[in-house]
Amino acid sequence: MNAIRNYQKELDKIIEGLSSDNPPRLLLHSCCAPCSSYVLEYLRRFFKITVFYYNPNISVDEEYRKRVAEQKRLIEAYNEKNSHPIDIIEGDYEPEEFFTTVKGLENCPEGGERCFTCYELRLRKTSQIASKGQYDYFATTLTISPLKNAAKINEIGERIAGECGINWLPSDFKKKDGYKRSIELSREYDLYRQDYCGCIYSKIERENRIN
């Protein structure tokens, strides 16, 4: 039986070996402002961070625009308070890419194979941008959510890293009360907190639960 990995401890070990005089460059995929709030607060002490906002799973244009605007607003607020600026790259908004990628998985329950395929779509694009930009690491904020499978996200990230040659930064950001802190920061900055992941299938599933 494989031992259960503690991705937070693995991250701590990497951070311990970093140089404060020459912090590495990190391309951080972000799913939304609330999830990124704690992650940015935590990692900016150790990395030069560029947020990559790429979420083609958000299939309603208005919802996408609202979420990306909140992401940019949060980064602007953080940069006003800190001398180490966070940059942002907004990826292409291409929901058709999401629908093509998850074709045949539409009826999978939330948290299953459709989600895993969506993680891979977003992480693979992040790795491509990281490779072109010669970043030292790439990572994602997705592991902060209690509803996301952190082990699967890290498995996908490590596999992609092996293919592209960019270091994957392991994480389980919900540890150390990370998720709790993200809720606190969301209140502090009055962030819009969505009640579904973004794709039309999760929206339908949420509405069915309510009804």
Nearest to 137 by CA among 7, 38, 39, 23: 23
pLDDT digits (tens, 9 = 90+) for 108-162: 988 899 999 999 999 999 999 999 999 999 999 999 999 899 999 999 999 999 9
What is the pLDDT confidence band of residue 2, given thresholds at 50, 70 and 90?
low
What is the pLDDT confidence band of residue 1, given thresholds at 50, 70 and 90?
very low
Q: β-strand 48-53 against 167-168: which pairing, if any?
A: unpaired
Pairwise CA distance, residues 66 & 34, whole Å: 13
Query: Any residues with CB less than 8 A from the CB of 163 and at least 6 apart, and which?
Result: 127
SS3 83: coil
Q: What is the mean pLDDT of residues 76-80?
A: 96
Tokens of residue 132, six digits: 């072109």
Counting residues of the chain whose pLDDT is more than 90, the rounded percentage is 82
pTM over 0.85: yes
Q: If you search the block for the tokens 């990306």, which residue do you land on?
A: 68
**Of the listed ranges 6-10, 47-51, 80-84, the one predicted with least confidence:** 80-84
Alpha carbon distance, N-terminus to C-terminus of the chain: 41
pLDDT digits (tens, 9 = 90+) for 14-52: 999 998 889 999 999 999 999 999 999 999 999 999 999
pLDDT of residue 84: 83
The CB density around residue 78, as the number of other CB atoms within 10 Å, is: 20
If you average pLDDT over every residue of the chain, what do you get? 94
Residue 93 predicted with pLDDT over 50? yes
118 close to 8: Cβ distance less than 8 angstroms: no
Query: Any residues with CB less than 8 A from the CB of 112 and at least 6 apart, and which?
Result: 105
